[in-house]
Copies of this chain bind each other. A is one copy, B any other.
């Protein structure tokens, strides 16, 4: 891996003020945040190693770690053991509307969209799901778990359920195209719209954290939606988990 050229905004020694009552770690955190806000550090850039920052600010490495820690916990930085600490991308504004398509949103933001099928299996519909999709409980459904990325960074993971006699082979089509829209087209469904959307939030579990390349416990936005075809027939029940650090939802009115 060719490391990105570490853009160092200012190599001069910027000693912290030890008399103004502001904790050293906070001054350092504010300094790094200002570097990001004012473009001296850009998304994807590597922050100088902790040891270098400690020297530059004239403090112990622990103090730098604390500053970096609060910025990581606020989602501005991402630290990876052995690699370094990097500036996170701005949260992507993700429209929630009747016709939102992941790939359109991401490419519209000038980023490269990709979708990966993690696994697919046949499951019986439980009572809640059957009611939502207008099926009889126990009816056979296809369940796909997918991960969606922008420029390689996972933004969301989704559990998609489609009724089975109608959409046989959906998993194969999704796997080859990486797009829900195209998989539906391959199954003969040209268009679909979102009928209902519910939004909640909770911390990520270990499995979800792994799929999204997050630390467990980071916050997820949970979006439950039902999509219907042109005739109003439900064709898809989806639970999408978005990293709250990486997207911001925009409601279209």
Q: Which of A93, A196, A253 has the largest count of B CB atoms less than 10 A from its CB?
A: A253
Q: Which of B194, B200, B253 contacts A97 (CB 8 A)?
A: B253
Which residue of B is nearest A195, CB measured? B253
Q: Are A253 and B202 in contact (CB under 8 A)?
A: no
Instruction: Tell me whether A244 is interfacial, beta carbon within 8 Å.
Output: yes
Interface of A, secondary structure class, is: strand
Most buried by B among A196, A201, A220: A201
- The answer to whether A202 and B244 touch across the interface, beta carbons within 8 angstroms, is yes
A residues 165-205 with Cβ under 8 Å of B? 194-203
- Cα separation A236 to B74 with both chains bound (whole Å): 27
Give A64-98 as 1s and 0s: 1 = Cβ < 8 Å from B's Cβ atoms. Answer: 00000000001000000000000000010100111
A202 CA to B73 CA, complexed, in Å: 10
Partner of A221, one of B74, B91, B199, B250: B199
Question: Which 6 A-B pairs rank lowest in CB-CB distance, beginning with the nearest?
Answer: A201-B201, A197-B251, A199-B249, A201-B244, A200-B248, A98-B253
| Residues of chain A having any CB pair with chain B under 8 Å | 74, 91, 93, 96-98, 194-203, 219-221, 244, 248-251, 253
